[in-house]
Amino acid sequence: MASATTHDHAHGHGHGHDHDHHGPGPWTRIFTTTNHKDIGSMYLWFSLLMFFVGGAMALLIRAELFQPGLQVVQPEVFNSLTTVHALVMIFGAVMPAFVGFANWLIPLQIGAADMAFPRMNNWSFWLMIPATILLMASFFVPGGAAASGWTLYPPLSTQGGIGVDMTIMAIHILGASSIMGSINIITTILNMRAPGMTLMRMPMFVWTWLITAYLIIAVMPVLAGCITMLLTDRHFGTSFFNAAGGGDPTMFMHIFWFFGHPEVYILILPAFGIMSQIIPAFARKPLFGYASMVYATASIAILSFIVWGHHMFTVGMPAAGQLFFMYATMLIAVPTGVKIFNWIATMWRGSISFETPMLFAIGFLCMFTLGGFSGLVLSIVPVDITLHNTYYVVAHFHYVLFPGAIWALMAGVYFWLPKWTGRMYNETLGKWHFWLSAISFNVTFFPQHFLGLAGMPRRIPDYALQFAEWNMISTIGAFALGFSQLLFVYNVFSCIRSGEKAKERQWDSADSLEWTHLPSPVPYHTFETPPDLRGTNAAH
């Protein structure tokens, strides 16, 4: 986002020279850039666009559910909307947004000049465009978009039209893009740290991304294998998941969720990293238990591989299997709880101020904890058997992912916008954005717990009359939530165009290298000569 304003700043600190006025024109630059800041901005803009595309689908879903009966869309379209809403939000909005942050911040925070493989970085971004076109175009082909839910369970996914194949190809391409991004991130972190930036001095955001990148490399090929088997079942006569041909649809679920559960942590670990940067900055205290945070993140990553079965308690599994996955799932709450306590301990007796990033961070803490608790409820096998496939589950994962992943991203944008653009956002508008989001989010999703407990199934366009009131309230909340996000867009645009000038160290207690060593906005080229951090206190 800084790209528009990078040409008129002063060159401070002896870092680099601003070469961009000699570079290619704006369009050529977009296609050919290998600069991590350009690519980071492109990822962020793309994910913002996809956030609104996925959000529009969510509003169509909620509009249909405003009243019982069918009013807005046909049931097949409704099923496609639930499927593609999830895929767009996961693969098009949240993951690319975190990669955007990684591109912008990792080189700045470890004192590197750029990412390790700049051309591959460009390729990772541009791969997402054909994938997205495939996914969105699938709505307009015969048979419509995939309608099996984002999990693509067979036999639903073996029955659909060409839209399913387009979805499979889109996921393949997005997976390849994520893997390339991860290789880039791991190589950059392990090989390009400035002298003195040891692993255990890296900012938490860098640590969480290092671990996330390993998770991506571990599980994306599993997803690719899974959907390739689906593709060969659909077109090439195999029967991996077809019981009539000797296959087993349950196997799809096991393979899918072996990817799917670590994916949940791929979506949340970088959010933990952003929180660990923001909370200390506004509490004006160092992060409590830095080592614990690193250890807990690694622990969560390992445990994430042994809990997949909790997504399929009702599928048919021996009691011993159910117990194993129940215990493992409950135990993963321990390192996650450690993180929550560490953030609270960081704030304890701190000199806290409540600027917009901190509001979103505290909102994250409260709401994510609530989502975590409903997750613990669902981890109990007999309870899950009752609540599986109800709106309780929808409420649970939206509590984890909206205030978890999305609010962390919002907090991160407000936090680093002054550094990226050299200008300040409007604080009053930011606070309005937070409070409107906080209230409307809870109006939307808290009633869904009640709906789920009362037995309303998910992914159904129509429902029984007794669910009408809470659905109506939930839809009103959803529209308020959706339209509140326009404030964010306005704030970002007005910040870039005409925000007040930001200080070099806008947040006085932010202590990572981009705040302590670089001017605002950051120059187009940074750390061409890596800073020497040996013997200094520059740290997490």
Partner 1 sequence: MWDTFRAVFWAFLGIRSSQGYDEDRKKLKIHHVIIAGVVCALVFVVMLLMLVKFITAK
Q: In the annotation, is 114 catalytic? A: yes
Closest CA to 398 of 362, 442, 335: 442
Q: Which is nearer to partner 1, 381 or 409 (CB)?
A: 381
Tell me the C-alpha distance between 397 and 375, whole Å: 8
Q: How far is CA 170 from CA 12, 138, 164, 213, 222, in A?
A: 44, 10, 10, 20, 15
- Among candidates 11, 40, 8, which has minimal Cα distance to 525? 11
Q: Residue 380 carries which DSSP code? A: S
Q: How far is the CB of 326 from partner 1 (least distance, A)?
A: 9
Residue 150 among the catalytic residues:
yes
Q: Would you say 308 or 470 has its CB closer to partner 1?
A: 308
Looking at the Cβ atoms of 319 and 465, the one nearer to partner 1 is 319
Amino acid at 252: F
What is d(CA 188, CA 193) in angstroms, rounded to the nearest whole number? 8
Query: Which is nearest to 262 in space by CA: 313, 334, 212?
Result: 212
Contacting partner 1 (CB under 8 A), which of 6, 80, 299, 346? 299
> What is the nearest approach in angstroms of partner 1 to the Cβ of residue 16?
31
Cβ proximity to partner 1: between 215 and 518 the closer is 215
Among residues 276, 329, 356, 526, which one is catalytic?
276
Per the annotation, the verdict on 500 as an active-site residue is no
Give the nearer residue to partner 1 in terms of CB position, either 133 or 190. Answer: 190
Q: Which of 128, 220, 296, 451 binds partner 1 (CB under 8 A)?
A: 296
Q: Which is nearer to partner 1, 292 or 516 (CB)?
A: 292
Instruction: Establish whether 261 is a catalytic residue.
Output: yes
Find all residues with CB under 8 Å of 159, minimum gap 6, and list them: none
Q: How far is the CB of 346 from partner 1 (least distance, A)?
A: 14
Q: Name which of 334 and 486 has its Cβ closer to partner 1.
A: 334
Q: Which stretch binds partner 1 (CB under 8 A): 109-117, 202-210, 268-276, 302-310?
A: 302-310
Name beta bridge partners: 423.
501
Convert residues 274-293 into a mask of x (bound to partner 1 by CB under 8 A) and - (unbound): ---------------x-xx-
Please name the amino acid found at residue 485: Q
The torsion of the CA quartet 449, 360, 480, 97, rounded to 10 degrees, works out to: -90
The two structure tokens encoding residue 169? 């190809």
Question: Does the annotation count 339 as an active-site position?
Answer: yes
CB of 248 to partner 1, least distance (A): 23
The amino acid at residue 7 is H
For the four alpha carbons of 49, 53, 54 and 55, in that order, the dihedral sign comes to positive
| 156 touches partner 1 by CB under 8 A | no
Which residues, at least 6 apart from 158, have a Cβ–Cβ distance to it below 8 Å?
230, 233, 234, 241, 242
Please report the beta strands in 269-368, taking only residues with DSSP state E, as ranges in sequence order.
Answer: none
Q: Can 36 be counted among the known catalytic residues?
A: no
Could you say which residues in the range 311-350 bind partner 1, by CB under 8 A? 319-320, 323-324, 327-328, 334-335, 337-339
Based on the shown chain and the rule CB under 8 A, indicate whether residue 535 belongs to the binding site for partner 1. no
Quick check: 244 binds partner 1 (CB under 8 A)? no
Residue 462 bears catalytic tag? no
Does residue 85 have an active-site annotation? yes
Q: Is 199 in the site for partner 1 (CB under 8 A)?
A: yes
Residues in contact with partner 1, counted by CB under 8 A, come to a total of 25
Maximum distance among all Cα pairs of the chain, rounded to whole angstroms: 70
Residues in the chain: 540
Q: Is 504 a catalytic residue?
A: no
Q: How far is the CB of 332 from partner 1 (least distance, A)?
A: 10
501 forms beta bridges with: 423
- Which residues are part of the catalytic machinery? 85, 114, 150, 177-178, 261, 263, 265, 276, 310-311, 336, 339, 458
Task: Give the interface with partner 1 as residue ranges (CB under 8 A).
Answer: 199-200, 289, 291-292, 295-296, 298-300, 302-303, 305-306, 319-320, 323-324, 327-328, 334-335, 337-339
